[in-house]
Amino acid sequence: MMEHAWRNYKLYAWGKNELRPLSQRPHSGSIFGSYDLGATIVDGLDTLYIMGLENEYREGRDWIERKFTLDNISAELSVFETNIRFVGGMLTLYAFTGDPLYKEKAQHVADKLLPAFQTPTGIPYALVNTKSGVAKNYGWASGGSSILSEFGTLHLEFAYLSDITGNPLYRERVQTIRQVLKEIEKPKGLYPNFLNPKTGKWGQLHMSLGALGDSYYEYLLKAWLQSGQTDEEAREMYDEAMVAIMDKMVRTSPNGLTYVSDLKFDRLEHKMDHLACFSGGLFALGAATRQNEHRDKYMEVGKGITNTCHESYIRAPTQLGPEAFRFSDAVEARALRSQEKYYILRPETFESYFVLWRLTHDQKYRDWGWEAVLALEKHCRTPHGYCGLRNVYQQEPQKDDVQQSFFLAETLKYLYLLFSDDSVLPLDEWVFNTEAHPLPIKGANQYYRQAPVTLPVSNAS
């Protein structure tokens, strides 16, 4: 599957961001637009490396060396997307290979994002122009707010970049974000999705483990894991957030399905985004790494959410899950609105299968992953790459003509790892960024490659 996705990207969209498999041309309408940033190359390269596809890996490495730059282009980039895909991708490749090319490129990209952090609070804007450095927020985001899942999903990459370059600046930037979030008053212990970077005040009180919230919670747990479990502040913030989420947002349907609902002010919207399906793995990973009074309960919730996401898949004739699904008296784990019925090759459900497989070795997670592989082959594969579907509830759904870069970065990587031995990227040595780029755990992984500390001259003698 990876070879097929890569080969067709190479044939029809090489150096562009993504492939349109039906049209056999580049996809330029997505987050990275028509700039030649090679998003699929940078995002997919560590997957090729893990799979041992050496020739393809080399082609990608050569393209990065010869072509990849953000200099002399005037692109308006998403700080979050650029960080998780480009900085994250390069950092993993640096950890894997020690090739200084990737460290330089990771730093090059991160430096282009830094102007976005020039706000009164240090909470970055969402978008930054790579040439002018002018930064701004999305017009649609609650009163000029930045978005929790975006500014809260920089910590792993920026902390690691500081450690491998010896430059503390990147860690300082994300530590500032951490302090704002630590000190601010949290309504009912929860984090709303919107925060104004100028005033430091929350926007609309919408909370979610799906779109706009999701990976913030993920990065609290993972910052602690990445630090070799020394960043206790992150773990405490994670534990406190999960207590509130359990109390206010995790619910069980009449037929016993566990789900995490969105919360709008005081009202539960009994809906779960496909994006929130990563949280099955998150609850389980949090439970497995700390012995406390919540451990057994959280492990059960992690398994329950993963099971619910699997149900959302198998209740669709395509055996692939919708973008969002609801719980009411009439339906459970099913999309109701037409704009919720699509599937864009997302990885989150398979990510939870992978984490739960590693933690429990319950065969059902591999069985579920295999069902998904067959469904992807049946409905999403085309002669020229893989496409998403417009409606998972149709027997023969229309395809969307986009091969997302995260299909190579995440979806295929998690499915591959689900069927690999535990010794391939063991979870006590690696922590996955939110785009499935594995980063080494400090103190536990020989590939951490921390920059040597240079002593001041007077002490060095």
- Catalytic positions: 81, 214, 323, 348
* Number of residues located near ligand DMJ, criterion CB under 6 A: 8
Conformation bin of residue 184: beta by default, left when phi > 0, alpha when psi is -120 to 50: beta
Here the tokens at position 373 are: 């592989």
Cβ-based nearer residue to ligand DMJ, 82 or 162: 82
DSSP letters for 258-317: EEE-EEETTEEE-EEEGGGGGHHHHHHHHHHT--STTHHHHHHHHHHHHHHHHHHHHTST
Of the two residues 1 and 444, which places its CB atom closer to ligand DMJ in the complex?
1
Q: What's the closest the beta carbon of residue 321 comes to ligand DMJ, in angstroms?
A: 12
Check residue 8 for interaction with ligand DMJ (CB under 6 A): no
Nearer to ligand DMJ, 218 or 332 (CB): 218
Residue with tokens 């900085």: 87
* 215 contacts ligand DMJ (rule: CB under 6 A): yes
Check residue 129 and give left, alpha or beta (phi > 0: left; psi -120 to 50: alpha).
beta
CA-based nearest residue to 176, from 193, 200, 192, 194: 200
| 434 labeled binding residue | yes
Dist. CA 167–CA 300, nearest whole Å:
41
Task: Specify the amino acid at residue 446.
Answer: Q
Whole-angstrom CA distances from 36 to 29, 39, 69, 106 are: 13, 8, 9, 17
CB of 85 to ligand DMJ, least distance (A): 7
Q: State phi, psi for 263 to the nearest 5 degrees.
A: -130, 125
For the bound state, the minimum distance from the C-beta of residue 238 to ligand DMJ, rounded and expressed in Å, comes to 17
Q: Judge contact between 79 and 154, C-beta under 8 A.
A: yes
> Between 13 and 345, whose beta carbon lies closer to ligand DMJ?
345
Specify the residue, 121 or 279, whose C-beta has the smaller distance to ligand DMJ: 279
Site map 250..289 versus ligand DMJ, x via CB under 6 A = -------------------------x--------------
The span from the CA of 39 to the CA of 10, in Å, is 12
Taking CB under 6 A as the criterion, the residue among 346, 379, 413, 442 binding ligand DMJ is 346
The tokens of 127 are what?
């978008």
CB of 149 to ligand DMJ, least distance (A): 7
Q: C-beta of 427: minimal distance to ligand DMJ in Å?
A: 18
The residue within the footprint of ligand DMJ, chosen from 193, 279, 306, 434 (CB under 6 A), is: 434
- Give min distance, CB of 285 to ligand DMJ, in A: 15
Place of tokens 């789900």: 259
By CB under 6 A, residue 18 contacts ligand DMJ: no
Binding of ligand DMJ by 435 (CB under 6 A) = yes
Output 401 or 410, the one with its CB closest to ligand DMJ.
410
Minimum gap (Å) between residue 214 Cβ and ligand DMJ: 6
Nearest residue (beta carbon) to ligand DMJ: 434
The answer to whether residue 414 forms part of the interface with ligand DMJ (CB under 6 A) is: no
Nearer to ligand DMJ, 365 or 406 (CB): 406
Pick from 228, 152, 178: nearest CA to 440: 228
CA distances from 22 to 19, 38, 387 (A): 9, 19, 8
Which of residues 12, 224, 368, 406 is near ligand DMJ by CB under 6 A?
406
* Comparison of 226 and 434: residue with beta carbon closer to ligand DMJ: 434
Label residues 398-416 b or e (16+ Cβ within 10 Å = b).
ebbbbbbbbbbbbbbbbbb
The reply to whether 193 sits near ligand DMJ by the rule CB under 6 A is: no
Residue 256 Cβ, how far from ligand DMJ at the closest point, in Å?
Answer: 27
Transcribe 397-431 into DSSP letters: PPB---B-HHIIIIIHHHHHHHTS-TTSS-TTTEE
Query: Cα 185 from chain centroid?
Result: 26
Spatial neighbors of 277 by CB under 8 A, at least 6 apart, are 305, 306, 309, 312, 321, 348, 349, 351, 352
Q: Which residues bind ligand DMJ (CB under 6 A)?
A: 215, 275, 346-347, 406, 410, 434-435
For the annotated binding site for Ca(2+), the residues are: 434
For the annotated binding site, the residues are: 434
